[in-house]
Amino acid sequence: MIIQRVVLNSRPGKNGVPVAENFRLEQSTIADTIQAGQVRVRTLYLSVDPYMRCRMNEDTGSDYLLPWQLSEVADGGGIGVVEESKHGHLAKGDFVTSFSWPWQTVAILDGSLLQKLAPQRVNGRLSYFLGAAGITGLTALLGIKEKGHVTVGANQTMVVSGAAGACGSLAGQIGRLEGCSRVVGIAGTDEKCSILVQEMGFDAAFNYKTGNVAEQLRELCPGGVDVYFDNVGGDISDTVISQMNQNSHIILCGQISQYNKDVPYPPPLPPDIEKIQKERNITRERFLVLNYMDKQEASISQLCQWIQEGKLKVRETVVEGLANIGAAFQSMMNGGNIGKQIVSVSK
Per DSSP bridges, beta strands 38-48 and 340-344 are antiparallel
Beta bridge partners of 47: 342
Q: What is the pLDDT of residue 263?
A: 47
Least confident range from 41-45, 237-241, 256-260: namely: 256-260
* Cα–Cα distance for residue pair 86/112, rounded to 1 Å: 11
Q: How far is Cα 256 from Cα 277, in angstroms, rounded to an integer?
A: 21
- Taking a C-beta distance cutoff of 8 angstroms, is the pair 135, 296 a contact? no
Distance CA 247, CA 183 (A): 18
* Topology annotation, domain 2-131+315-344: Quinone Oxidoreductase; Chain A, domain 1 (3.90.180)
d(CA 345, CA 240): 39
- In 229-261, which positions are buried (b, 16+ CB within 10 angstroms) versus exposed (e)? bbbbbeebbbbbbebbbeebbbbbbbbbbbbbe
For residue range 142-194, list pLDDT tens digits in order: 999 999 999 999 999 999 999 998 899 999 999 999 999 999 999 999 999 99
> Of the ranges 182-186, 244-248, 271-275, 334-338, which one carries the lowest mean pLDDT score?
334-338
Q: Which residues contact 158 (CB under 8 A, 6 or more apart)?
A: 148, 150, 172, 175, 180, 182, 183, 184, 225, 226, 227, 228, 229
In this predicted structure, what is the pLDDT of residue 253?
81
Asked if residue 176 lies in contact with residue 183, where contact means CB atoms within 8 angstroms, the answer is yes
Alpha helices per DSSP H over the chain? 52-55, 135-143, 166-178, 190-198, 213-220, 234-242, 271-279, 296-308, 325-333
How far apart are alpha carbons 320 and 318 in whole angstroms? 6
Spatial separation of the C-alpha atoms in residues 197 and 185, rounded to whole Å: 9
Start and end residues for every CATH 3.40.50.720 domain found in the chain: 135-290
- Against a cut of 0.85, is the pTM above it? yes
pLDDT at 261 over 70: no
Cβ(253)–Cβ(284) below 8 Å:
no
- Of 259, 245, 239, 253, whose CA–CA distance to 284 is shortest? 253
Residue 267, pLDDT above cutoff 80:
no
Domain with CATH 3.90.180.10 in the chain: 2-131+315-344
State the average pLDDT over residues 238-266: 76
Query: Exposed/middle/buried for 31, CB within 10 Å: 0-12, 13-18, 19+?
Result: exposed
What number of H helices and E strands is found in the chain? Answer: 9, 15
pLDDT-derived band at 260 (thresholds 50, 70, 90) equals: very low
Report which DSSP code applies to 112.
Answer: G
pLDDT of residue 256 exceeding 70: no
Question: What's the rounded mean pLDDT across residues 219-247?
Answer: 95
Annotation: CATH topology of 135-290? Rossmann fold (3.40.50)
Rg (alpha carbons) of the chain, rounded to whole number: 20
Q: What is the mean pLDDT of residues 63-69?
A: 88
At 274-289, the pLDDT tens digits run 999 999 999 998 788 8
